Structure 1
C-alpha cells in the first residue's frame, strides 16, 4: 500500500494521443500489423523533441527528451524534483492534516503533480522536406485516440534530469502495454480502446498500472487478472477489478462518503496479536446521512449500506448503494411477513439483515454467541473470516447493529481487540471528526457477555 507518511511526489501524466496510420487490407492480421506500425511511430515521437509536457493551469512547458523547459534556470538537470512545485498546482487532500494525531497514524498527505501531454507538430528550428507519394492502391486511414494515464514516483531530492528520462520511459512503456492490449483483444475489425488503471497492492509502496480494453466486462477479463495474481504472487482476493482503482486526492475529496477510514488508525502490535482486517475498500455510512433521521432505528440499515458498498467497490455489484426504502422494498420481495415494512421506522434484526443480503445476491453465515460462550474461540473464528473472506461483518445485539472491520487476538494472554465502525455516529463527515469518532479498536469490554449476539458473516464470491 502507499505509505501514509511520505514526502514522495507522484507525477501523473495524462492526455490523448492520436494513433493513426494506413491499411491496405481490413482483415484482422493486417489491422494488427498496421496498428503495430502506428505504435512504433508514436513511441518514436515520444522519444523525440516533439514530446512536450505542460503543467496544468500554468505556463510551464517541458521537453523531457532534451531536458529543456520554459524555466531553464530553475529546472536544470541538477535541480531537485521539488523545484517544480513553484510552477504547478498541487493536488492534495489537505483535510487529512486535520486528523487528530493522538489517534491516527502519522499522515503526510500525498502530493500529486498533474502534467498534460502534447505532441509538437512542427518545430521552428527544423526545416523538414515534404515528400509527395502517389499511391494507386486503395488504402484506408485509421485513427484511434489513446487515453494515456501514467504515474511516476519521485523523491523531492531526486535530480530533475533523471526524472525527465523516467517520464519518457514511463509513457513509452504504457504505449507498449496498450499495443499488447489491442493485439490481444482485437477481433476481426473490432479494435478496443486501451485504458490504464492504477491499483494499490499490499506489499508495494507505489502504484501498479494495468491496461484493460474498454467495453469488455470484468468477468471476461478474469483470466488476465488471474495471470497478474500468479505473476505477482497474490492470493485469491481481488485487487485488479476496475472498481478497485486507486483514489487520487481529488477523488477522495469529491466522493460523497468517506472511504476505508480505518487505514488511518494504527493496528495493534502484530508481534503480540494475530490480526484479521477487512480487505479492500468500503464507504462509511452512519446515522443522519442523506437527510434521513434514523437515530435509534437505522443502525442495521447503515451497516447494510457499508457491507454492500464493499461488494460494490470490489466489483461484485454494479448498482447504487441502497437507501433505507430500497432495503425495505427488498424485504417485501422476500416474503409476506415483510409486506407492511416500507416506511416503518423500527430496528431490524439478523433475519432481516440476512434476507436483504440474500436478495442482493450475497450469501452469508450467521454466528450465534450466547451468554457465557467463550468469546476467545469466536474471536479466532472472526480472524479466520477476515483472512479467508475479507468482508466487513455486522454484529447485532438487540436493538443495535455494529460493523466489525477487524479482530486482534493475543493467544497467550487471551486479550482481544475489535475494530468497530461506529454506524451510530451522528456528526458530519469532516475527516477529523470521522476518524476521531467513527472508527476505533475496542477491548473485550465492548462485548456485554450477559447478552446474546448474532454476527452476520457475508461471504465473498469466488474469483479475482
Structure 2
C-alpha cells in the first residue's frame, strides 16, 4: 500500500444533507412471470445492508458523469455494513477521495482529482482493493454477446457472496448496481439499482415507481454495448 493513500479508517467523516435510503432492493418483489412447467423459479438478492447513493446525494453535483462513483459508494456501504455496523456511512469515500485513491495508487495522473472523468469496473476494483482489501472478479461481456449466458455465473455469485455488483459498458454508458437475479426457466431478470436519480427521494416506492429500482430482462440491455461486471469477493 502506498504511503499517503487513504484507508478505510482514515476516510473523512461524512455528513449528508438528508437521511439516505437503505436496502432499497428489499422493497421490490420478484417479476410477475409464470414459472414454466418443468423449470424452477429462483430469486436471489444482495445479502446484508447497503445505502443507496445517487447523483448529488451528498450535496456534490455529479449529474451526468458520477454514476459509477455512486454505485461504488453503495458497494462500499455494503462492505462497511458487513464488517462494522457502527461505522455506518462514515467509512464510505467521497467522490474526491475516490479520485485521490486512484491517483495515489498510480492509476491516474494528478489532474484527475477534481475532474469529471468517468470511472469503470476496473477502477471500482482498484478502490475496493485499496480501501477495504477486497478483491473483485471482473466479467467482460463482449458486444452482441448474450447477457443471459452469464446467468449461472451471476446466480453462483449471489449464492456464494450475496454482494452488490457494479455493471458498466460503452454504448450503454449508464453505470448501475445489480442487487439480485431472477431466473424462471430460460427467462432471466437482473435487479438494477440505478444511481441516476436527481433530487431527494421521498421513499423507496418513489424510486420503484420511477424505474430507478427495477427488474430488467436481459433482452432489455443494449446488445451493441460491451459490459464489464465487477463482483466483490467478500463473504
Is the pair's TM-score, using the shorter chain for normalization, greater than 0.5?
A: yes
Cα distance in 1 for partners of 2:213, 2:193 equals: 5
Number of residue pairs matched by the alignment: 206
* Alignment partner, residue 50 of structure 2: 282
Could you say which structure has the greater relative contact order, defined with CA pairs below 8 angstroms and 6 or more residues apart?
2
Matches within 5 A, 1:36-115: none
Is 2:151 the counterpart of 1:379?
A: yes
Q: 4+ runs of 1 displaced by more than 4 Å? A: 316-319
Q: Flag the 1:270–1:435 CA change in 2: closer, same or farther, 3 A.
A: closer
Aligned residue for 1:420, secondary structure, equals: strand
Aligned residue for 2:58, secondary structure, equals: helix
1:349-382 CA distance string (max 9 Å, x none): 2221111111122110000001232322202211
Is 2:87 the counterpart of 1:324?
A: no
Cα distance in 1 for partners of 2:229, 2:107 equals: 25
Q: Is the 8 A contact 2:137 2:233 kept in 1?
A: yes
* Alignment partner, residue 307 of structure 1: 75
1:66-91 CA distance string (max 9 Å, x none): xxxxxxxxxxxxxxxxxxxxxxxxxx
Q: Is the 8 A contact 1:347 1:400 kept in 2?
A: no
Cα distance in 2 for partners of 1:277, 1:422 equals: 16
* Alignment partner, residue 403 of structure 1: 177
Cα distance in 2 for partners of 1:410, 1:260 equals: 24
Cα distance in 2 for partners of 1:351, 1:265 equals: 29
Shift of 1:336: 5.4
Is 2:216 the counterpart of 1:445?
A: no
Structure 2's unaligned 5+ residue stretches are 1-17, 36-40
* Alignment partner, residue 64 of structure 2: 296
Is 2:166 the counterpart of 1:394?
A: yes
* Alignment partner, residue 192 of structure 1: none
195, 201, 206: which is aligned to 1:433?
206
Cα distance in 1 for partners of 2:99, 2:108 equals: 12
Which protein is bigger by CA-based radius of gyration?
A: 1
* Greater strand fraction, Structure 1 or Structure 2: 1
Structure 1's unaligned 5+ residue stretches are 1-254
Q: Flag the 1:459–1:316 CA change in 2: closer, same or farther, 3 A.
A: farther
Shift of 1:459: 0.8
Q: Flag the 1:426–1:377 CA change in 2: closer, same or farther, 3 A.
A: same
Q: Is the 8 A contact 1:380 1:409 kept in 2?
A: no
* Alignment partner, residue 340 of structure 1: 111
Cα distance in 2 for partners of 1:314, 1:424 equals: 25
Q: Is the 8 A contact 1:276 1:382 kept in 2?
A: no
Q: Flag the 1:376–1:340 CA change in 2: closer, same or farther, 3 A.
A: same
Q: Flag the 1:260–1:336 CA change in 2: closer, same or farther, 3 A.
A: closer
**TM superposition score normalised by structure 1:** 0.42
**TM superposition score normalised by structure 2:** 0.80
Cα distance in 1 for partners of 2:93, 2:58 equals: 12
Matches within 5 A, 1:16-415: 256-268=19-31, 272=35, 273-315=41-83, 318=87, 320-335=91-106, 337-360=108-131, 361-398=133-170, 399-411=173-185, 414-415=186-187
Shift of 1:275: 2.0
Is 2:189 the counterpart of 1:421?
A: no
